[in-house]
A and B are shown apart, each in its own frame.
Chain A
Amino acid sequence: MSDNTSRAHLSLLDATRWRVWEPLLWIAAFAAPFVLSQHAAIINEIAIVALFALSLDLVLGFTGIVSLGHAAFFGFGAYTAALFAKHVMPDPLVGLAVGIATSTLLGAFASFTVQRGSDLTRLMVTLGAALILLELANKLDWLTGGADGLQGVVMGPVLGRFEFDLAGRTAAWYSLTVLLVLFVIARRLVHSPFGATLKAIRDNRLRAMAIGIPVGSRITVAYTIAAALAGAAGALLAQTTGFASLDVFEFHRSADVMLILVVGGTGWLYGGVLGAIVFKLMQDFLSAITPQYWTFWLGLFLVVLVLVGRDRLLKPWTLFQRGRTA
């Protein structure tokens, strides 16, 4: 009996173990700014976008809430961090903490809007929230600089020691470190019993309710945590580029991050990281060819992705197999 339970316990724990390739991946990530020092800026961007996608994954992939307005938290974190650095103090870590804290508050507040209704209602409400913030940032031009963006943000050195250099290597390491820390936290979270209840809510809300999971409060907590991560990503963007503009709230940010997550795979924490790498490289490549029309190829990619099937495009070897579940 006790042998059985311990075996079950072990097999549950097994799913949460660190795999061999995981530390290798992170070591490679941290080595990347050394090896490819002229591409440090794009590594920094990838880390930020990966964190943003990770945040959406908690909402979409693990809790099953379709959100088209995740840029709301991203942008809120970005503007708070930029304003804090400009007016209060230039220390990046404190600014990051402030950015996270404010987005968390916003997320807790906004989580009441995604409790009820169908997918369509949620899409509308999240989209509306992002648009309201966009309007706010646009109209409060004495504070945010309006359509010109918030300029003149000067960051101090990280930990009082590492200056942000022009090549962006410090920025890349800074973002990667934050990503790693938050990734580990998220990893711990989704493998915990709490994470299991989120997955239950995603798979069948009614049954989750029936076995006594407090669906409403779980959604609130998950949404708030995701908002905190998105705020951190936004704060990193503002700090490493020294700039915040209306662009951070735009619809295409929310759409892009959803695409990134879907490319990498939802409901899998590395999905966001993988998708961010693929997406950023693709964007870099395509916009080098056609700077103005690269959204066309992005759109085409999306259409093909959905028509072929999300799973099958990522695993091409299943393309010619008969679908078992179809």
Chain B
Amino acid sequence: MLTLLFDGIAYGMLLFILALGLAVTMGLMNFINLAHGAFAMAGGYITVLLMQRAGVPFLLCLPAAFLGAALLGAVLERTLYRPLYRKPHLDQVLFSIGLTFMAVASIDWFMGSTQQFIQLPQWLKGRTEIGTGAWTLGMGHYRLFIIAVCAALTVVLQYILSNTRFGSRLRASVDDQRVAAGLGINVNMVFLSTFAFGCGLAGLGGALGAEVLGLDPTFPLKFMIYFLIVVAVGGTSSITGPLLAALLLGIADVAGKYYIPKMGAFIVYLLMIAILIWRPQGLFVRQGGKA
């Protein structure tokens, strides 16, 4: 049982890193970006390519995945996303679905539709067990690694967001764009860097998750709903909201699939619909922010 909880937490942490960029862009630009998974997929494929073709060690691939996805995000933000911030949501949804379709088809074309695997280094492959009987805690080393990386990232992000100048600019822009711009904050620059950073995080998540979630060209479509659940349930005004939502989702999904395999993904969807009917703005909403 503890093992399940542990796996759920690892899964949830991964989802959090993957979805955080989406939460920020949605809160910041009010932009419904269904193509977020494509950036995660880009990160995953960068890792696979580097490891298989160039023999780069796994640990070096992670920053590469981050940078690659961030760069891609920055370029696309400048060229394609920028004109759409003021468009209606329907346009944004159509645009990002189109982008996702293109990403899926082009990865299919270049890499083939088979699932890609990542050869983990030896020291991440083992498994440690603590305790006995019903309370055995089995920890895969790789999952432990994921939790450690994601937790460290969360702490750093929380620090940046609450204690640095950039963080306060970002929060100001999320709360009210126009006033922030009036105070001399370069909102466009904040948008660009945040979008790129969010995409980079997604790329990192995709690289980390290739082993756990599986990596094939339909990745953006398969996990789109999960990212959106995290954002919709967690709200977009803080990073603790999405974090808690991601952990809840991860644990519910792992536990649901283990205990009631027949029900499969039902539990997650039902839970989401119930929560959204109960609190349409998400579970964790800060009072006083812009609706």
Residues in A lying within 8 Å of B, measured CB to CB: 60, 66, 68, 112-113, 116-121, 123-125, 127-129, 131-132, 135-136, 138-139, 251, 255, 258-259, 262, 266, 292-296, 298-303, 305-307, 310
Q: Which stretch from B97-105, B144-152, B170-178, B197-205 is at the chain A interface?
A: B97-105
Can you give 17 contacting A-B residue pairs, CB < 8 Å? A118-B280, A119-B89, A123-B228, A124-B232, A124-B272, A125-B273, A128-B269, A129-B269, A132-B269, A135-B264, A135-B266, A262-B90, A295-B101, A295-B104, A299-B103, A302-B97, A307-B84
Docked pose: A132 CA to B103 CA in angstroms: 26
Contacting B32 at CB < 8 Å: which of A119, A299, A300? A119
- Interface residues on chain B, number (Cβ under 8 Å): 44
Task: Please give the distance in Å from B78's CB to the nearest CB on chain A.
Answer: 14
Contacting pair B98 A298 (CB below 8 A): yes
| Interface residue SS majority, chain A | helix
Contacting pair A306 B101 (CB below 8 A): no
Docked pose: A300 CA to B102 CA in angstroms: 6
Contacting B83 at CB < 8 Å: which of A135, A301, A307? A307
A117-B280, A131-B225 are known contacts; what are 4 more A-B pairs with Cβ within 8 Å?
Answer: A294-B105, A296-B109, A298-B101, A310-B91
What chain B residues lie within 8 Å of A292 (beta carbons)? 108
Contacting pair B106 A296 (CB below 8 A): yes
Task: Please give the distance in Å from A256's CB to the nearest CB on chain B.
Answer: 10
Docked pose: A117 CA to B276 CA in angstroms: 8
Docked pose: A299 CA to B272 CA in angstroms: 28
Task: Please give the distance in Å from B264's CB to the nearest CB on chain A.
Answer: 5
Docked pose: A307 CA to B84 CA in angstroms: 8
- B26 adjacent to chain A (CB < 8 Å): yes
Q: For residue A251, which residue of chain B has the nearest CB?
A: B221
Contacting B94 at CB < 8 Å: which of A121, A135, A306? A306
What chain A residues lie within 8 Å of B276 (beta carbons)? 113, 117, 121, 124-125
Task: Please give the distance in Å from B224's CB to the nearest CB on chain A.
Answer: 8
Contacting pair A139 B104 (CB below 8 A): no
Contacting pair A306 B106 (CB below 8 A): no
What chain A residues lie within 8 Å of B106 (beta carbons)? 296
Contacting A132 at CB < 8 Å: which of B97, B109, B262, B270? B270
Task: Please give the distance in Å from B256's CB to the nearest CB on chain A.
Answer: 11
What chain B residues lie within 8 Å of A68 (beta carbons)? 93
- B80 adjacent to chain A (CB < 8 Å): yes
Docked pose: A258 CA to B102 CA in angstroms: 17
What chain A residues lie within 8 Å of B90 (beta carbons)? 60, 66, 262, 266
Docked pose: A292 CA to B109 CA in angstroms: 9
Would you list which residues of chain B between 13 and 56 have a CB under 8 Å from chain A?
26, 32
> A132 with B266: in contact, given A112-B277, A303-B80 (CB under 8 Å)?
yes
Contacting pair A299 B273 (CB below 8 A): no
Contacting pair B264 A302 (CB below 8 A): no
What chain A residues lie within 8 Å of B290 (beta carbons)? none
Contacting pair B232 A299 (CB below 8 A): no
Contacting pair B98 A306 (CB below 8 A): yes
Contacting pair B270 A121 (CB below 8 A): no
> A135 with B269: in contact, given A117-B281, A125-B276 (CB under 8 Å)?
yes
Docked pose: A136 CA to B272 CA in angstroms: 17
Q: For residue A116, which residue of chain B has the nearest CB?
A: B280
Docked pose: A305 CA to B87 CA in angstroms: 13
- B229 adjacent to chain A (CB < 8 Å): yes
- B265 adjacent to chain A (CB < 8 Å): yes
Q: For residue B97, which residue of chain A has the nearest CB?
A: A255
Q: For residue B99, which residue of chain A has the nearest CB?
A: A303
Contacting pair A296 B265 (CB below 8 A): no
Contacting pair A299 B264 (CB below 8 A): no
Q: For residue B264, which residue of chain A has the nearest CB?
A: A135
Q: For residue A131, which residue of chain B has the nearest CB?
A: B269
Docked pose: A306 CA to B84 CA in angstroms: 8
What chain B residues lie within 8 Å of A127 (beta carbons)? 225, 228
Contacting A299 at CB < 8 Å: which of B101, B229, B263? B101
Q: For residue B231, which residue of chain A has the nearest CB?
A: A120
List the 6 closest pairs (A to B, CB-CB), nearest first: A302-B98, A117-B280, A299-B101, A296-B105, A299-B102, A306-B95
